[in-house]
Amino acid sequence: MKQDFQQILRGLNLKSTPKRVVLLEVLDDESVYLSPEDIWNRMKKRFRRLGLPTVYRNLEELYAGGVISRVIHPNRQLYYYLCRNEEHHHHFICVSCRRVVDVSFCAEKELQDVVREGIQGKVLSHILQINGLCRHCLQKDGAVHAY
């Protein structure tokens, strides 16, 4: 586990520091999306001193390295971070409880076709994110948290 994280960090040519390992642990523990500050707060329980810039720096590096993934807030220009990112997939995010569920559906091929044929352009990346209410929040209807 911890071993695992060390290997991941080595793989990115990043030193295996306690803070990086804990950052990965924090993300791995959660099934909801977390803001940089959320992550900072959780990590601070484990370190006497921890700067927010450290969190930002590491999120950036780990995201760039493809180890973690992120979603964009449904109606604010903010990123939220998620646990590990295995292979290409998209996310259903519950706008009420922040839960994230991986979605295997991906229209990549169709998008490629549409762009190649209709626009004669080339796809570099795509964002597909589904915002909605998860099963649990649907049941306690009305009790939907603001987001």
Partner DNA sequence: TGATAAATAGAAACAGTTTTCATTTAAGGA
Partner DNA sequence: TCCTTAAATGAAAACTGTTTCTATTTATCA
Contact residues for DNA, defined by CB under 7 A: 6, 10, 14-20, 35-37, 47, 49-54, 56-58, 60, 77-79
- Among the listed residues 44, 72, 84, 85, the single contact to a second copy using CB under 8 A: 72
Task: Classify each residue of 14-29 as buried b or exposed e, where b means 16 or more C-beta atoms within 10 Å of its C-beta.
Answer: eeeeebbbbbbbbbee
Tell me which residues in 85-124 interact with a second copy (CB under 8 A).
92, 94-95, 101, 103-105, 107, 110-111, 114-115, 118-124
**Site membership for a second copy, residue 134 (CB under 8 A):** yes
Q: Which residue in 29, 76, 26, 98 sits closest to 55, CA to CA?
A: 26
CB-nearer residue toward a second copy: 10 or 107? 107
